[in-house]
Amino acid sequence: MKKKIYITTPIYYPNDIPHIGHGYTTLAADILARWNKINGNDVFFLTGTDEHGKKIEATAERVGKTPKEFVDSLVPKFKDAWKKLNVDYDKFIRTTDKEHEKVVQQILQKVFDNGDLYLGEYEGFYCTGCEAYYTEKDLEDGRCPIHKTKIEKLREKSYFFKLSKYQDKLLKLYRENPEFILPKKRAKEVINRVKEGLNDLSISRTSFDWGIELPFDKKHIAYVWFDALLNYYSGAKKGFWPANVHFIGKDILWFHAVYWPAILMSVGIELPKKIFAHGWWTFDKEKISKSRGKVINIDELISIAGVDSARYFLFRATPFGEDGDFSEQALIDRHNNELADKLGNLVSRVSALVEKYGFEKTENKLIKKLNAKKIEELFEGYEFDKVLNEIFAFIDICNEYVQNKKPWETGDKKILYELKESILEIAKLLWPFIPESSEKITKQFSAKKIKKGEVLFKKI
């Protein structure tokens, strides 16, 4: 049965061009979206940019632009990067979209009307880099634990959301929906912290104005995370809420697993089904950091061995929930040893043989060695690396089949038929990961006259 599937990425801060970390989540969503399309589901895939807040305002000021001019100059870089990576999203939301701003104000009003907001004074620490509040004990020598920058002490009037009130409801949610936060090992940390107790959340600011005004008190603008999280709801295509899964990085799990469901509970909107927090990439074993030159942007990523090899590497090298280390050499090795030597080789040998001998329809016994059920289960659990392992195990089987049956000696058309059909199935299963190459293979092997084509993956 055709299902409605709604998949999201975080919306990115457009304060610099996108890098591999942004690409990673966006590609994961693309892979899952494509997998669902293969299965005939009705997919809606949302991505976008998170454009308000102090961080954007400050960066814009540094380059002498208004915040809006600044974000307008960066948004095309994100769209362009996704195009180059072959990311086929359905909608790109910007938090400066009027439609989004309207929804945020409506929800703020609702939360206010139902008594979950009160005016108070916030006194504490705020890291603009994280756009997050910290307590003294979170800091390291008065510095942000993530950015290591000196942290601002804030004291300003602010509206507070009664997050503390939702502690029990959240714990019940995690208990009754053990798959709400994934991977499960990350859920534990969140649950333990929620058990320790929740402070009410400051959701408005008065010391700058790049944001959405609170409809009931125009001196205040909404806290950027309150604004940003609502994108998932304001950007949803009609009939697609709740989201099936929000893909995010582990660093922003707390916002998604605690603030987000609490806000939705407050206004009585259905909760998303799953939140999956993936790991972080390091670059040559170091934290990706612009200041130290350890950053790899999307153009650089693609230039190493092409789009498909980049997409393939990111999801084959490391399980989706784990941290991974990126290195150019590791990507090239996988390009050469797996895409070129295994997949490329199979495609080129079989196409050449079919061109020479043709094929004859028969029962495809070879394909029975492909564990389709397992692949489906692995996809549903977002175990993309294991999906690829399964497919490549089958590619190995096909290569051995060619080797053992020696169709170049026998000219056996039935063997060639089995191989051709198996390759078409491989191309279909690989389409979410390497769409461009898969489409080439499909076209080549569905043609009336199958020919040995150009080399798919040139060795580097």
Exactly one of 108, 170, 214, 248 binds ligand MSP (CB under 6 A); that residue is 248
- Are 154 and 125 a contacting pair, CB within 8 Å? yes
Phi, psi of 276 (to 5 degrees): -115, 120
Q: In terms of Cα–Cα distance, which of 110, 291, 131 is closest to 205? A: 131
Tell me if 21 contacts ligand MSP by CB under 6 A. Answer: yes
Site string for ligand MSP, 175-214 (x = CB under 6 A): ----------------------------------------
- DSSP classification of residue 191: H
Set 68, 287, 369, 406: catalytic member: 287
Tell me if 22 contacts ligand MSP by CB under 6 A. Answer: yes
CA R_g for the chain: 25
Exactly one of 127, 201, 203, 252 binds ligand MSP (CB under 6 A); that residue is 252
3-state secondary structure of 94: strand
Tell me if 288 contacts ligand MSP by CB under 6 A. Answer: yes
Residue with tokens 């150009």: 454
Distances (CA, A) of 377 to 257, 344, 374, 429: 24, 27, 5, 13
Tell me if 235 contacts ligand MSP by CB under 6 A. Answer: no
- Are 344 and 457 a contacting pair, CB within 8 Å? yes
Q: How far is Cα 91 from Cα 111, in angstroms, rounded to an integer?
A: 27
Tell me the closest approach of the beta carbon of residue 26 to ligand MSP, in angstroms: 9
3-state secondary structure of 287: strand
Tell me if 280 contacts ligand MSP by CB under 6 A. Answer: yes
Q: How far is CA 206 from the centre of its chain?
A: 33
Q: Given the rule CB under 6 A, which of 5-13, 110-118, 203-211, 234-242 is the region that contacts ligand MSP?
A: 5-13
- Are 412 and 443 a contacting pair, CB within 8 Å? no
405 is catalytic: no
Q: Which residue is nearest to ligand MSP (CB)?
A: 249
Tell me the closest approach of the beta carbon of residue 49 to ligand MSP, in angstroms: 8
Q: Given the rule CB under 6 A, which of 19-27, 111-119, 151-159, 360-368 is the region that contacts ligand MSP?
A: 19-27
Tell me if 266 contacts ligand MSP by CB under 6 A. Answer: no
The tokens describing 222, both together, are: 């909404």
Phi, psi of 394 (to 5 degrees): -70, -35
Set 102, 185, 290, 458: catalytic member: 290
Tell me the closest approach of the beta carbon of residue 140 to ligand MSP, in angstroms: 20
Q: How far is Cα 327 from Cα 428, in angstroms, rounded to an integer?
A: 28
130 is catalytic: yes
Q: Given the rule CB under 6 A, which of 153-161, 189-197, 225-233, 347-355 is the region that contacts ligand MSP?
A: 225-233
Exactly one of 5, 46, 104, 229 binds ligand MSP (CB under 6 A); that residue is 229
Q: Annotated active-site positions, please?
A: 19, 22, 127, 130, 144, 147, 287, 290
Instruction: Enumerate binding residues for ligand MSP (CB under 6 A).
Output: 10-13, 21-22, 24-25, 50, 228-229, 231, 248-249, 251-252, 280-281, 288
